[in-house]
Structure 1
Amino acid sequence: MLLDGAVETLDITPHLHRLAVERYEEVGTWLAEHGSSGWRIYPQGSFLLGTVVRPNTKTGEYDIDLVCRLPLSRESVTQEWLKQRVGDQLTAYLIWKKEQRQTDGPKDLEPRRRCWTLGYPGFHLDVLPTIPDTDHPPTGILLTDKNLWKWQHSNPIGYAAWFQGQSDLSRRIEEKRHANVAHVPVWRARSTLQRVVQILKWHSMLVFAKDIDNRPPSILITTLAGRAYSGESDLFTAVRNVLAGMTDFIEKRNDKWWVPNPAHKEENFTDKWNEYPERREAFLGWYDQIATTIGDLARMESKGLDVVATRLSEAFDRDPVLHSYERYAARMSMATNLRMGTTGALSPIVTGPRKREHVFHGQHSVARP
């Protein structure tokens, strides 16, 4: 309950979620109406999966990912042309917003490695130019990548269907929008697996706050958690079991580390490990930390709520843990105005994140894949 209550505070607010979805739909509608016939727009990533976690950055910006699929064959276009085609439409959208004197438009448009990014207060919208992958119908896509010569494979729709099947949650709502702009789901309640993924992502963001380049990709954590999840309904049990089994799904193929996309076996979520070995070590170091934390908590069942909350706050943000602690204590009719004593017990007057820096050296405490 402490974990669930703490991670719940990191959910995106209904107001900001609604605002992000409105901007997604407006941009998507512009692309669908002003691009060529057959352009299709749909979301991908944490907004689609329901695993959004508030970033612990100075700006604290969420990101919502938009796939823009053009009905073209790979033989008829280049990656550079595709990227620029979508960028031109987004530029036209910005010009139109300014001409209409509308103040709710994006503040900027930036090209990234695979996408275009529209910046808004509190969040940014990543627009990913793609074409159909005819070798993997009906939902496979090919991505642009300025650093790679070959087209990159992906399948966000298939992945979302797999994840929803794993979490046994498939709620949907329907809204009015352009026929070629798919909706963003609104998750009224999180499944256990969604919460597990949020907890893992939250911890990862804290550990790698000063080392973004080596932070494990969200899609890698989500995939390993989804593969290891066995349908547990109790959140803490689910986290323990997922951590116990998630590294079993890291493969070695022809001397290359491999975690395949469950919806597209040719996409490897650990491809960067083979190019940058330090990123695998970073992942294993993070895994050690959170596995140790959860193991410590499991042995504290009879130690008292304040002791458990204090240990939890050492690995996660203190404020969300404190908020959860106070709410849980109030439910149990317990005193909540504790003081920080010589034992280091949790106190509501102590705020701010408290986390350990990650250090990757020496022997790891768990078996290595």
Structure 2
Amino acid sequence: MPPPVEETISTLFTGAADILDIPPDLYSVAVERYEDVGNFLVLNGGPEWTVYPQGSFRIGTVIKPPTSNTEYDIDLVCHKDSSKDDMTKEELKTEVGELLQAYDAFKILEGNGDGPALCVEGRRAWTLTYPDLGFHLDVLPAIPDGERPPPRIRLTDTQNHLWQYSNPKGYSVWFQGRSEELRRTLEFKARAAGVDIVPMWTARSTLQRVVQVLKWHCYLYFAKDIGDRPPSVLITTLAAWAYQGERDLFTAAFNAVNGMPEHIQNRHGTWWVPNPAHERENFADKWNEPNERREKFHAWLGSLRNTLLEAAQSSRRDTASVIGSLGVAFGEDLLLKSATRMGLEVKNPMATGARRVAAVTAAASSGATGKFGAVPVVRTRSGRAG
């Protein structure tokens, strides 16, 4: 008898997340590159400079977007131990850019072939590209947040005249605290290695996998609408708040999707998803601009919920049928690779394509309404519809 559908989905999601995860050897190369950048900054800019990872690379939820022309996105903080009274944010951004451009020129002169292909300025960061390796480094200039205790920081933003707030190190600690499983795993690895602490990326807890699965689906859903795609940190924060300690990946993902809207706040007409490590940083800040990003976020979340629910309620429990029911939303090729990786038998993989077409036809005729399809009504903590 086939296993329960939920168990098959969990296994497929686990294998897919393994495939999308950054390989350990590439992770090591990325660490070597950003440490090299940091050493150059200290030697040429002074001891007040440090570089450290932030975001998904730091907390172990990085994935390669499931399209052929994308790279791993690795976020770094380029921190200068200075004060906003000593320099403007424009001066900080320029200084970091000049140092990174000098690093780029130095690597070209050195001729070892391990330097970036380009150094490009963005809204908040400078980007060092490594297309041959399949990743790029987004380097965010930062200084200490003098009004708050360390490790809180302030960031530059060319489209905002005010300093922006953040706390990547504090966020990492908060994220770890949302999963007892993750904490225990890291402690066990540290004891086995005879050290006080091991990097979070060495573990893969259910919570980390939930975030990877949600990000994976989001990349595919917004493949033709990248500009309105929800930021990774918004998905990660809401999923971590909604996570209830489940060990089964399907159950954890489904419950997170249902619970995420409860952690969206409306503060007197302003939408807020605060950084749990810095109350002045709002991960939903762009929802308060004249756009449709909030509506599209809820449309995506509703689509994901319906996909998971329909797959779990299917009467067909064999692996090929489960892949067929999930293939449109999650990518059939990746799910088939996952099945092979996880040792799941797919008796008739060619049939999944036919079921995928049937699923699309059924969805098109299911009476979805609204500009973005069927959008469930959710409530914020203020009681207003989200």
What TM-score do the two structures reach when normalised by structure 2? 0.84
Preserved CA contact (<8 Å) 2:296 2:372: no
Work out whether residues 32 and 41 of structure 1, in 8 Å CA contact, stay in contact via their aligned partners in 2: no
Whether the aligned pair in 1 keeps the contact of 2:298 and 2:376 (CA below 8 Å) is no
Larger CA deviation: 115-124 vs 294-303: 294-303
Alignment correspondent of 1:129: 141
CA–CA separation in structure 1 for the residues paired with 2:351 and 2:291:
42
Q: Distance in 1 between matches of 2:350 and 2:219?
A: 29
Aligned residue identity for 1:197: V
Which of the numbers 339, 349, 355 marks the counterpart of 2:350?
A: 339
How far is 1:313 from its partner? 1.1
Deviation at 1:345, TM superposition (A): 4.5
Instruction: Give per-residue Cα distances to partners, 1:90-115, cap 9 Å, x unaligned.
Output: 11111211221121110110011111
Q: Which runs of 5+ in 2 are unaligned?
A: 1-10, 191-196, 357-362, 379-384
Alignment of structure 1 residues 23-102 onto 2, 5 Å: 23-102=33-112
Residue type at the aligned position of 2:170: G
Following TM superposition, by how much is the alpha carbon of 1:231 offset from its aligned partner in structure 2, in angstroms? Answer: 0.9
Q: Is the 8 A contact 2:174 2:276 kept in 1?
A: yes
* Per-residue deviation, residues 148-191 of structure 1 (Å, max 9, x unmatched): 001001111110110011123253999xxxxxxxx993633310
Residue 283 in structure 1 maps to residue 293 in structure 2: no
Letter in structure 2 aligned against 1:144: T
CA displacement, residues 123-147 of structure 1 (integer Å, 9 cap, x when unaligned):
1111111110011211110101111
Note the C-alpha offset of 1:87: 1.1
Q: Distance in 2 between matches of 1:359 and 1:60?
A: 31
Task: Summarize the alignment of residues 250-329 of structure 1 with structure 2, pairs less than 5 Å apart.
Answer: 250-300=264-314, 303-328=317-342
Letter in 2 for 1:35: G
In 1, the alpha carbon distance for the partners of 2:370 and 2:66 equals: 20
Match of 1:13 in 2: 23
How many residue pairs match? The answer is 349
Identify unmatched segments of 5+ residues in structure 1: 175-182, 347-354
TM-score normalised per structure 1: 0.88
Displacement of 1:58: 4.2
Q: Give 1:8 deviation, angstroms.
A: 1.6
The question of 1:158 aligning with 2:170 is answered: yes
- The alignment-based identity, stated in percent, is 49
Checking the alignment, whether the CA contact within 8 Å between 1:326 and 1:336 is kept in structure 2 is no
CA distance in 2: counterparts of 1:65 and 1:104, whole angstroms: 19
116, 122, 133: which one pairs with 2:126? Answer: 116
Distance 1:208 1:359, change over 3 A: farther
Q: Deviations over 1:189-248 (max 9, x none)?
A: 310000000000000000111111100010000000010011111111101111111100
1:149 to 154, 157, 161: 161
Contact persistence 1:70–1:130 (CA under 8 A): yes
Q: Does 1:212 align with 2:226?
A: yes
Residue identity opposite 1:26 in structure 2:
D
CA contact (8 A) 2:307 2:326 kept: yes
Residue aligned with 1:136, SS: coil
SS at 1:148 equivalent: coil
Q: Which amino acid aligns with 2:167?
A: N
User: Shift in Å at residue 311 of structure 1?
Assistant: 0.7
